[in-house]
């Protein structure tokens, strides 16, 4: 087993270490998925189906797309 780490920035971003990128065959611009079960999280390369679900929901969320909503949630 190999262990590698990364720090989270103040904007909650992290660099994916090279050994992880190589193991998952990740390239810039590709999406990743987090499988969460209990207290364990598995990182994997996202598949087409992972992207289809949120894209299908996006048009239904327009009721929260007003300026008042943007202002209310801007700092989240």
Give pLDDT tens digits for 36-71: 999 999 999 988 777 777 667 777 777 767 788 788
- Predicted local confidence at residue 69, as pLDDT: 79
What does pLDDT average to over the chain? 86
- Which of the pair, 1 or 12, is modelled with greater confidence? 12
**In this structure, is residue 4 part of a structural domain?**
no
Nearest to 46 by CA among 16, 6, 11, 10: 16
**In this structure, is residue 3 part of a structural domain?**
no
Distance CA 46, CA 29 (A): 11
**In this structure, is residue 55 part of a structural domain?**
yes
- The encoded tokens of residue 21 equal 């990128």
Domain boundaries, position 52: 18-73
Percent of the chain's residues with pLDDT above 70:
95
Domain count, the chain: 1
**In this structure, is residue 57 part of a structural domain?**
yes
Does the pLDDT value for residue 4 go beyond 80? Answer: yes
- Predicted local confidence at residue 54, as pLDDT: 67
DSSP conformational letter for 51 = H
């Amino acid at each position: 087993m190999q262990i590698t780490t990364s720090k989270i920035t103040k904007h909650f971003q992290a660099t994916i270490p090279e050994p992880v990128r190589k193991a998952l065959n990740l390239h810039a611009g590709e999406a990743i998925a987090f499988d969460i079960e209990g207290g364990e999280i598995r990182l994997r390369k996202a598949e087409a189906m992972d992207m289809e679900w949120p894209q299908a929901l996006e048009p239904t969320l327009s009721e929260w797309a007003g300026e008042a909503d943007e202002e209310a949630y801007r700092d989240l």
